[in-house]
Structure 1
């Protein structure tokens, strides 16, 4: 609620309830005066001054009924014994205490109200007809019951509104948490994509630059090939980085760049050969796996080439792909020991960790370890269900 509106709304609630208390008390006070005149009795100074003063005090006490609900209700109820005009204030106090929906408090105040109403008769010499005791007892009990019913209904409604407000706030907090989690997941996904895109290109560029730095026996044509490879690799790294970052700046409906697949592995190998890597590819894959499996297989090969270029420059790399629908897709990247001595580039340590997560999400298994010939072997087994069998089932 608006901060400017809240005080005005609270003031209006207070004024409305005080006006209702006065509206209920005035007819009672006037009827008492008429009855006294009809019975030719003296109203006295108490009726004209004391009664209204007590009622004014009771109405003033109602302003603190929310801070001290039980104390105010008992005070107003007992004080209403001496004032017919305070009857409305007593009923409002009883209704207010009933909004708390505490049976013991309500019972105590109702008992005090009914008892006080019996003593109120002694303040004015109003003659009651014979046998009217039960009427004098039933009428206050009836009015108290109506006040209690209204108070309980208002309290129930307040509790329901409070519950709905809490649920709405809880739902808003959950939605905010889900949005934050989605943003974190998206940042992690983009970070993995940037690592996969850049690590491979930069590793090849670093390898070629290392060859130029440590090989002084290269011919001029070989130097030009390496320099062109460095320039081309740097340009492709910038373009691929621009594609990834372009997704962040694009509209929600803007399509993402095409994702790699199994068909892109031969081009990946050819690109690595152009950069100077000694790579061979053996594939016995029959069929086309799903996009997830194909993309994961591509990333396994890419990570294997990247690690070989970074940690084993000049090594021979052999890639094997084998699989068929209904079984699994096996990927292995094996590199021999390094043959060129270069400075080791900095390693983030997150490449294989992120690749393990990718393979796990695809339902596969990743393993990597050194080999007896001082090389390194990276393997992955990816499930490849038969789509034709899935359709039949």
Structure 2
């Protein structure tokens, strides 16, 4: 919609505007009749017939003022001075055109109205005092000015209301977009947390179940160990799932439980080793990195072990963590080629993708690629700046 376009009117709005225009013209028409009687002049047939017919024509033309605003306003402005009863129609036409806020159109129609008023004064036999020419010019000009000012005010109000409406609609769209983004982020958060917590446990359980399915030479004690590992892993997976759901359902103002960090990496490796994965760990870390770096390092090792258990059964995995303040924190999870064949596990699609996002948010870099010996390596470098010394005050 254009800025100067008038809103569409309903039938009731159109009716009461035309009725108001007709009602405004009635006092002007009666005033002319009273003035003629007071001056003992004969009103004549124009006052009784011509004046009302011109007013009716002007009011009828106003029905099309929204579709043809300039043509209707110019026609009414030229014809209305010949009819006292059409005064309201002239005011409505000028105000309606002025609401469009186009100076050239307003000037043309106002000039036509004032000029036509000078030629219409002879239609009524009213005696005029000498020197009344200024009044013949000033009164139509004042009438046109009032109508134009009213129309400009209405137009300004329409623009303001339209601007407020568009601003409110824009705010609603932005609010809806923010809500959609929040829902998407929450879904991604839930998926990432579920993947981080459950994928590792379920992968180890699947690996142990695969060993039971493909190894027929195991002793009874080895079978019991694997079955016990499957039961324990399933129980831990359920417990961790319950913990994740508790965090997601918790009150937003309630603090979340502490997340695993760098000091939990040995426990993570021990769990994987107990589940049958051949894992070695080398740690050469001097100092304690930030919580973000430590937590990200833990998730990197967890994802590497999970992928090794899922996609390379029977492999040997070497985990290396090294770093110091000022030199960064390096993480590497390297596995040899798979030595067993298991059915291809389903891929969630959130593992390395979510890990890349997590490392990027921590300010680090992540890389993963196959090795020349058909193995796989996952490496990351995380920032670990020197601690800022406190200044003495």
TM-score, length-scaled by structure 1: 0.88
Cα gap change, 1:179/1:116 in structure 2, threshold over 3 Å: closer, same or farther?
Answer: same
For this pair of structures, how many residues does the alignment match? 385
Equivalent runs, 1:223-262 vs 2, <5 Å: 223-253=223-253, 256=256, 258-262=258-262
**Contact 1:330-1:380 within 8 A present in 2 as well:** yes
SS of equivalent residue, structure 2 residue 84: coil
Larger CA deviation: 200-209 vs 61-70: 61-70
- Counterpart CA distance in 2 for 1:386 and 1:60 is 85
- Counterpart CA distance in 1 for 2:224 and 2:180 is 49
Residue 302 of structure 1 deviates from its aligned partner by 0.4
Residue 322 of structure 1 is matched in structure 2 by 322
- Counterpart CA distance in 2 for 1:25 and 1:391 is 86
Give deviations 1:238-260, integer Å, cap 9, x for gaps.
33334434455555445555433
1:114 and 2:87 are equivalent in the alignment: no
Equivalent runs, 1:123-134 vs 2, <5 Å: 123-134=123-134
**Contact 1:211-1:340 within 8 A present in 2 as well:** no
Can you give the 5+ residue segments of structure 1 that lack an aligned partner in the other structure? 1-8
1:103 and 2:103 are equivalent in the alignment: yes
Q: Give RMSD over aligned pairs.
A: 2.7
Cα gap change, 1:150/1:271 in structure 2, threshold over 3 Å: closer, same or farther?
Answer: same
SS of equivalent residue, structure 1 residue 86: helix
**Contact 2:98-2:155 within 8 A present in 1 as well:** yes
**Contact 1:203-1:306 within 8 A present in 2 as well:** yes
Residue 189 of structure 1 is matched in structure 2 by 189
Residue 313 of structure 1 deviates from its aligned partner by 2.5
Residue 150 of structure 1 is matched in structure 2 by 150
Give deviations 1:3-30, integer Å, cap 9, x for gaps.
xxxxxx9566445544543454233223
Residue 307 of structure 2 is matched in structure 1 by 307
Residue 273 of structure 1 is matched in structure 2 by 273
Residue 60 of structure 1 deviates from its aligned partner by 4.1
- Counterpart CA distance in 1 for 2:273 and 2:345 is 20
Residue 299 of structure 1 deviates from its aligned partner by 0.9
- Counterpart CA distance in 1 for 2:387 and 2:153 is 61
- Counterpart CA distance in 2 for 1:391 and 1:128 is 96
Cα gap change, 1:337/1:389 in structure 2, threshold over 3 Å: closer, same or farther?
Answer: farther
Residue 4 of structure 2 is matched in structure 1 by none
Give deviations 1:122-181, integer Å, cap 9, x for gaps.
211112222322321222122112211221122122112212211221121122112212
Give deviations 1:84-142, integer Å, cap 9, x for gaps.
11112101111110111112321221122112212221211112222322321222122
- Counterpart CA distance in 1 for 2:391 and 2:146 is 68
Residue 384 of structure 1 is matched in structure 2 by 384
- Counterpart CA distance in 1 for 2:89 and 2:181 is 54
SS of equivalent residue, structure 2 residue 106: helix
Residue 47 of structure 1 is matched in structure 2 by 47
Residue 4 of structure 1 is matched in structure 2 by none
- Counterpart CA distance in 1 for 2:268 and 2:140 is 93
Residue 350 of structure 1 deviates from its aligned partner by 4.6
- Counterpart CA distance in 2 for 1:390 and 1:29 is 91
Residue 190 of structure 1 deviates from its aligned partner by 1.9
Residue 80 of structure 2 is matched in structure 1 by 80
Residue 65 of structure 1 is matched in structure 2 by 65
Residue 199 of structure 1 deviates from its aligned partner by 1.9
TM-score, length-scaled by structure 2: 0.88
Cα gap change, 1:372/1:64 in structure 2, threshold over 3 Å: closer, same or farther?
Answer: closer
- Counterpart CA distance in 2 for 1:12 and 1:253 is 54
Residue 72 of structure 1 deviates from its aligned partner by 2.5
**Contact 2:82-2:121 within 8 A present in 1 as well:** no
- Counterpart CA distance in 2 for 1:246 and 1:71 is 72
Give deviations 1:45-101, integer Å, cap 9, x for gaps.
432344234324433443432233223323322331331111121011111101111
**Contact 1:243-1:257 within 8 A present in 2 as well:** no
1:207 and 2:207 are equivalent in the alignment: yes
**Contact 2:192-2:350 within 8 A present in 1 as well:** no
SS of equivalent residue, structure 2 residue 383: strand
Cα gap change, 1:192/1:123 in structure 2, threshold over 3 Å: closer, same or farther?
Answer: same
**Contact 1:312-1:339 within 8 A present in 2 as well:** yes
- Counterpart CA distance in 1 for 2:49 and 2:268 is 102
